[in-house]
Protein backbone atom coordinates (compact mmCIF):
# COMPACT_ATOMS: atom_id res chain seq x y z
CA UNK A 1 0.00 0.00 0.00
CA UNK A 2 2.79 2.41 1.02
CA UNK A 3 4.80 1.61 -2.12
CA UNK A 4 1.72 2.24 -4.27
CA UNK A 5 1.14 5.58 -2.56
CA UNK A 6 4.73 6.69 -3.13
CA UNK A 7 4.59 5.53 -6.76
CA UNK A 8 1.46 7.66 -7.27
CA UNK A 9 3.15 10.60 -5.56
CA UNK A 10 6.17 10.15 -7.85
CA UNK A 11 3.91 10.09 -10.93
CA UNK A 12 2.19 13.30 -9.81
CA UNK A 13 5.54 15.00 -9.14
CA UNK A 14 6.79 13.92 -12.58
CA UNK A 15 3.60 15.24 -14.22
CA UNK A 16 3.91 18.60 -12.43
CA UNK A 17 7.55 18.84 -13.50
CA UNK A 18 6.55 18.22 -17.12
CA UNK A 19 3.74 20.78 -16.83
CA UNK A 20 6.13 23.36 -15.33
CA UNK A 21 8.68 22.84 -18.11
CA UNK A 22 6.08 22.96 -20.87
CA UNK A 23 4.37 26.02 -19.34
CA UNK A 24 7.69 27.86 -19.37
CA UNK A 25 8.32 26.85 -22.99
CA UNK A 26 4.82 27.88 -24.06
CA UNK A 27 5.12 31.21 -22.20
CA UNK A 28 8.36 32.00 -24.03
CA UNK A 29 6.73 31.18 -27.37
CA UNK A 30 3.79 33.49 -26.67
CA UNK A 31 5.88 36.39 -25.28
CA UNK A 32 5.71 38.35 -28.54
CA UNK A 33 1.95 38.09 -28.97
CA UNK A 34 1.49 38.94 -25.27
CA UNK A 35 3.34 42.21 -25.87
CA UNK A 36 0.97 43.00 -28.72
CA UNK A 37 -1.98 41.91 -26.58
CA UNK A 38 -0.89 44.33 -23.86
CA UNK A 39 -0.60 47.25 -26.26
CA UNK A 40 -3.96 46.57 -27.91
CA UNK A 41 -5.86 46.08 -24.66
CA UNK A 42 -4.25 49.07 -22.94
CA UNK A 43 -5.43 51.22 -25.85
CA UNK A 44 -8.91 49.66 -25.71
CA UNK A 45 -9.23 50.17 -21.94
CA UNK A 46 -8.23 53.84 -22.01
CA UNK A 47 -10.31 56.94 -22.68
CA UNK A 48 -12.93 56.41 -19.98
CA UNK A 49 -13.85 58.65 -17.04
CA UNK A 50 -11.53 58.06 -14.09
CA UNK A 51 -14.33 56.61 -11.95
CA UNK A 52 -15.22 54.13 -14.71
CA UNK A 53 -11.74 52.90 -15.66
CA UNK A 54 -11.51 49.99 -13.22
CA UNK A 55 -15.16 48.82 -13.65
CA UNK A 56 -14.70 48.87 -17.44
CA UNK A 57 -11.37 47.06 -17.17
CA UNK A 58 -12.93 44.44 -14.88
CA UNK A 59 -15.75 43.92 -17.41
CA UNK A 60 -13.17 43.39 -20.19
CA UNK A 61 -11.13 41.06 -17.94
CA UNK A 62 -14.20 38.93 -17.20
CA UNK A 63 -14.91 38.83 -20.93
CA UNK A 64 -11.32 37.71 -21.53
CA UNK A 65 -11.68 34.83 -19.04
CA UNK A 66 -14.96 33.79 -20.72
CA UNK A 67 -13.23 33.97 -24.12
CA UNK A 68 -10.51 31.61 -22.97
CA UNK A 69 -13.02 29.28 -21.31
CA UNK A 70 -14.73 29.01 -24.72
CA UNK A 71 -11.56 28.77 -26.81
CA UNK A 72 -9.57 26.25 -24.75
CA UNK A 73 -11.92 23.23 -25.12
CA UNK A 74 -12.43 23.93 -28.84
CA UNK A 75 -8.66 24.34 -29.34
CA UNK A 76 -7.95 20.96 -27.72
CA UNK A 77 -10.73 19.29 -29.76
CA UNK A 78 -9.55 20.88 -33.02
CA UNK A 79 -5.95 19.86 -32.32
CA UNK A 80 -7.05 16.28 -31.71
CA UNK A 81 -9.71 15.84 -34.43
CA UNK A 82 -9.54 18.67 -36.98
CA UNK A 83 -6.10 20.35 -36.98
CA UNK A 84 -6.73 21.49 -40.58
CA UNK A 85 -9.39 23.94 -39.30
CA UNK A 86 -7.01 25.91 -37.07
CA UNK A 87 -5.30 27.95 -39.81
CA UNK A 88 -8.55 29.08 -41.53
CA UNK A 89 -9.93 30.16 -38.13
CA UNK A 90 -6.75 32.11 -37.42
CA UNK A 91 -6.97 33.82 -40.82
CA UNK A 92 -10.57 34.89 -40.28
CA UNK A 93 -9.43 36.42 -36.99
CA UNK A 94 -6.50 38.02 -38.82
CA UNK A 95 -8.87 39.71 -41.27
CA UNK A 96 -10.86 41.15 -38.37
CA UNK A 97 -7.75 42.53 -36.62
CA UNK A 98 -6.40 43.96 -39.88
CA UNK A 99 -9.77 45.59 -40.59
CA UNK A 100 -9.95 47.15 -37.12
CA UNK A 101 -6.39 48.47 -37.31
CA UNK A 102 -6.84 49.89 -40.82
CA UNK A 103 -10.20 51.43 -39.87
CA UNK A 104 -8.50 53.36 -37.06
CA UNK A 105 -5.97 54.77 -39.52
CA UNK A 106 -8.75 55.61 -42.00
CA UNK A 107 -10.81 57.41 -39.35
CA UNK A 108 -7.75 59.38 -38.23
CA UNK A 109 -7.30 60.82 -41.73
CA UNK A 110 -10.98 60.78 -42.78
CA UNK A 111 -13.04 61.34 -39.61
CA UNK A 112 -16.66 60.24 -39.83
CA UNK A 113 -19.21 63.07 -39.68
CA UNK A 114 -21.03 61.51 -36.73
CA UNK A 115 -17.72 61.03 -34.95
CA UNK A 116 -16.97 64.73 -35.37
CA UNK A 117 -20.39 65.66 -34.06
CA UNK A 118 -20.03 63.53 -30.92
CA UNK A 119 -16.61 64.99 -30.19
CA UNK A 120 -17.94 68.55 -30.53
CA UNK A 121 -20.60 68.07 -27.87
CA UNK A 122 -19.58 69.57 -24.53
CA UNK A 123 -21.92 67.33 -22.56
CA UNK A 124 -23.46 63.96 -23.24
CA UNK A 125 -26.27 62.27 -21.41
CA UNK A 126 -25.56 59.44 -19.01
CA UNK A 127 -27.32 57.03 -21.40
CA UNK A 128 -25.06 58.08 -24.30
CA UNK A 129 -21.94 57.63 -22.17
CA UNK A 130 -23.06 54.18 -21.02
CA UNK A 131 -23.89 53.13 -24.60
CA UNK A 132 -20.48 54.26 -25.80
CA UNK A 133 -18.90 52.41 -22.87
CA UNK A 134 -20.77 49.20 -23.73
CA UNK A 135 -19.69 49.48 -27.36
CA UNK A 136 -16.04 49.92 -26.37
CA UNK A 137 -16.20 46.98 -23.95
CA UNK A 138 -17.76 44.79 -26.65
CA UNK A 139 -15.09 45.81 -29.16
CA UNK A 140 -12.32 45.12 -26.62
CA UNK A 141 -13.72 41.65 -25.81
CA UNK A 142 -14.05 40.74 -29.50
CA UNK A 143 -10.44 41.84 -30.13
CA UNK A 144 -9.34 39.91 -27.04
CA UNK A 145 -11.09 36.82 -28.45
CA UNK A 146 -8.98 36.94 -31.62
CA UNK A 147 -5.76 37.58 -29.72
CA UNK A 148 -6.63 34.80 -27.24
CA UNK A 149 -7.01 32.33 -30.12
CA UNK A 150 -3.55 33.31 -31.34
CA UNK A 151 -2.02 32.97 -27.85
CA UNK A 152 -3.62 29.56 -27.23
CA UNK A 153 -2.70 28.17 -30.65
CA UNK A 154 0.93 29.30 -30.28
CA UNK A 155 1.05 27.83 -26.76
CA UNK A 156 -0.38 24.56 -28.09
CA UNK A 157 2.21 24.43 -30.86
CA UNK A 158 4.93 24.64 -28.21
CA UNK A 159 3.70 21.52 -26.37
CA UNK A 160 2.78 19.34 -29.34
CA UNK A 161 3.89 15.77 -28.79
CA UNK A 162 3.47 15.92 -25.03
CA UNK A 163 0.86 13.87 -23.17
CA UNK A 164 -2.66 15.26 -23.55
CA UNK A 165 -2.95 16.05 -19.84
CA UNK A 166 0.33 17.99 -19.93
CA UNK A 167 -0.90 19.95 -22.96
CA UNK A 168 -4.22 20.81 -21.31
CA UNK A 169 -2.70 21.93 -18.00
CA UNK A 170 0.24 23.85 -19.52
CA UNK A 171 -1.83 25.76 -22.08
CA UNK A 172 -4.57 26.51 -19.54
CA UNK A 173 -2.00 27.91 -17.11
CA UNK A 174 -0.50 30.08 -19.87
CA UNK A 175 -3.98 31.37 -20.79
CA UNK A 176 -4.79 32.27 -17.17
CA UNK A 177 -1.41 33.90 -16.53
CA UNK A 178 -1.69 35.84 -19.78
CA UNK A 179 -5.05 37.30 -18.78
CA UNK A 180 -3.97 38.20 -15.25
CA UNK A 181 -0.63 39.60 -16.40
CA UNK A 182 -1.93 41.66 -19.33
CA UNK A 183 -4.91 43.20 -17.55
CA UNK A 184 -2.96 43.69 -14.32
CA UNK A 185 -0.42 45.80 -16.20
CA UNK A 186 -3.20 47.62 -18.06
CA UNK A 187 -4.86 48.46 -14.72
CA UNK A 188 -1.60 50.00 -13.48
CA UNK A 189 -1.22 52.03 -16.68
CA UNK A 190 -4.71 53.53 -16.70
CA UNK A 191 -4.44 54.47 -12.99
CA UNK A 192 -1.06 56.12 -13.40
CA UNK A 193 -2.45 59.63 -12.93
CA UNK A 194 -4.31 58.70 -9.72
CA UNK A 195 -1.07 57.32 -8.32
CA UNK A 196 0.62 60.61 -9.22
CA UNK A 197 -2.08 62.69 -7.50
CA UNK A 198 -1.75 60.58 -4.35
CA UNK A 199 2.01 61.16 -4.30
CA UNK A 200 1.41 64.90 -4.66
CA UNK A 201 -1.13 64.87 -1.81
CA UNK A 202 1.21 62.88 0.45
CA UNK A 203 4.00 65.40 -0.13
CA UNK A 204 1.97 68.48 0.76
CA UNK A 205 0.99 69.39 -2.80
CA UNK A 206 4.43 69.10 -4.40
CA UNK A 207 6.02 65.99 -5.89
CA UNK A 208 8.14 65.82 -9.02
CA UNK A 209 7.55 62.08 -9.31
CA UNK A 210 3.80 62.57 -8.85
CA UNK A 211 3.70 65.29 -11.53
CA UNK A 212 5.70 63.02 -13.82
CA UNK A 213 3.03 60.30 -13.59
CA UNK A 214 0.19 62.81 -14.04
CA UNK A 215 1.78 64.44 -17.09
CA UNK A 216 2.94 61.12 -18.54
CA UNK A 217 -0.52 59.49 -18.70
CA UNK A 218 -1.91 61.45 -21.72
CA UNK A 219 1.32 60.79 -23.61
CA UNK A 220 1.24 57.10 -22.67
CA UNK A 221 -2.39 56.84 -23.85
CA UNK A 222 -1.55 58.50 -27.18
CA UNK A 223 1.45 56.23 -27.60
CA UNK A 224 -0.64 53.16 -26.77
CA UNK A 225 -3.23 54.19 -29.36
CA UNK A 226 -0.52 54.16 -32.04
CA UNK A 227 1.19 51.03 -30.67
CA UNK A 228 -2.14 49.20 -30.29
CA UNK A 229 -3.11 49.95 -33.89
CA UNK A 230 0.30 48.80 -35.17
CA UNK A 231 0.09 45.71 -32.97
CA UNK A 232 -3.25 44.68 -34.50
CA UNK A 233 -1.81 45.06 -38.00
CA UNK A 234 1.36 43.17 -37.06
CA UNK A 235 -0.55 40.29 -35.46
CA UNK A 236 -2.89 40.10 -38.46
CA UNK A 237 -0.02 40.26 -40.95
CA UNK A 238 1.93 37.68 -38.95
CA UNK A 239 -0.98 35.24 -39.12
CA UNK A 240 -0.99 35.38 -42.93
CA UNK A 241 2.81 35.45 -43.35
CA UNK A 242 3.34 32.44 -41.08
CA UNK A 243 0.43 30.37 -42.40
CA UNK A 244 0.25 31.17 -46.13
CA UNK A 245 3.35 30.03 -48.02
CA UNK A 246 2.63 32.23 -51.06
CA UNK A 247 2.33 35.39 -48.93
CA UNK A 248 5.47 34.44 -47.01
CA UNK A 249 7.41 34.13 -50.28
CA UNK A 250 6.09 37.51 -51.51
CA UNK A 251 7.38 39.43 -48.46
CA UNK A 252 10.41 37.26 -47.69
CA UNK A 253 12.81 39.96 -48.95
CA UNK A 254 11.32 42.55 -46.53
CA UNK A 255 12.49 42.63 -42.87
CA UNK A 256 9.88 40.49 -41.06
CA UNK A 257 8.27 43.28 -38.98
CA UNK A 258 7.76 45.53 -42.01
CA UNK A 259 6.61 42.60 -44.12
CA UNK A 260 3.98 41.61 -41.57
CA UNK A 261 2.89 45.26 -41.21
CA UNK A 262 2.55 45.59 -44.99
CA UNK A 263 0.48 42.41 -45.24
CA UNK A 264 -1.72 43.55 -42.35
CA UNK A 265 -2.30 46.91 -44.05
CA UNK A 266 -3.17 45.31 -47.40
CA UNK A 267 -5.58 42.77 -45.84
CA UNK A 268 -7.12 45.51 -43.70
CA UNK A 269 -7.49 47.88 -46.67
CA UNK A 270 -9.28 45.20 -48.71
CA UNK A 271 -11.57 44.35 -45.77
CA UNK A 272 -12.29 48.05 -45.21
CA UNK A 273 -13.18 48.59 -48.89
CA UNK A 274 -15.52 45.59 -48.79
CA UNK A 275 -17.25 46.96 -45.68
CA UNK A 276 -17.58 50.43 -47.25
CA UNK A 277 -19.13 48.88 -50.38
CA UNK A 278 -21.58 46.92 -48.23
CA UNK A 279 -22.54 50.15 -46.42
CA UNK A 280 -23.09 51.90 -49.76
CA UNK A 281 -25.37 49.11 -51.02
CA UNK A 282 -27.38 49.22 -47.80
CA UNK A 283 -28.22 52.92 -48.27
DSSP class per residue in 94-106: HHHHHHHHHHHHH
Q: Is the pLDDT of residue 19 over 70?
A: no
**What is the extent of the structural domain holding 13?**
2-282
The residue-averaged pLDDT of 157-181 equals 79
Assess whether pLDDT exceeds 70 at residue 188.
yes
Give the per-residue pLDDT at 25. Answer: 56
Give the pLDDT confidence score for residue 20 in this predicted structure: 58
Query: What spatial distance separates the first Cα and last Cα of the chain, rounded to whole Å?
Result: 77
Cβ count near 234 (within 10 Å): 27
23 or 76, higher pLDDT: 76
Q: What is the mean pLDDT of residues 33-46?
A: 64
- Secondary-structure breakdown of the chain: helix, strand, coil percentages, each rounded to the nearest 5: 90, 0, 10
* pLDDT over 60 (residue 85): yes
Question: Dihedral sign, CA of 29, 33, 38, 44?
Answer: negative
Higher pLDDT, 21 or 130: 130
Predicted pLDDT of residue 5:
40
Whole-model pTM above 0.85? no
- Residue 13 has what pLDDT? 44
Of 35-39, 79-83, 91-95, the one with minimum mean pLDDT is: 35-39
The least confident of 113-122, 187-196, 243-252 is 113-122
Burial of 235 per CB tally in 10 Å (0-12, 13-18, 19+): buried
Give kind and range of the element (H or E) at residue 155: helix 126-158
Q: Decide if pLDDT at 67 tops 80.
A: yes
Above pLDDT 90, what percent of the chain?
A: 8
| Band of pLDDT at residue 43, cut at 50, 70 and 90 | low
Mean pLDDT rounded to a whole number for the chain: 76
pLDDT above 80 for 39: no
Helix (H) or strand (E) holding 163, with range, is none
* 44-63 residue pLDDT tens: 666 666 667 778 888 888 99
Residue 66 and residue 6: Cα distance in Å, rounded? 38
Overall number of domains in the chain: 1
- Mean pLDDT of the region 262-271: 93
Band (249; pLDDT cuts 50, 70, 90)? confident
Amino acid sequence: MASGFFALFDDIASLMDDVSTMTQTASQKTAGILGDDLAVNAEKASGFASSRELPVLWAITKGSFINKAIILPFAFLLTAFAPWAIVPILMVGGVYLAFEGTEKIYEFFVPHNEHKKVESLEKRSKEEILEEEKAKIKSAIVTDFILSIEIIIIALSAVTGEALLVQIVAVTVVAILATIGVYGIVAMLVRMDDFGYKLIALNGGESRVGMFFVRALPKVIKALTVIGTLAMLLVAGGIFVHNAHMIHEMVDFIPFIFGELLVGLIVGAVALMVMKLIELFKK
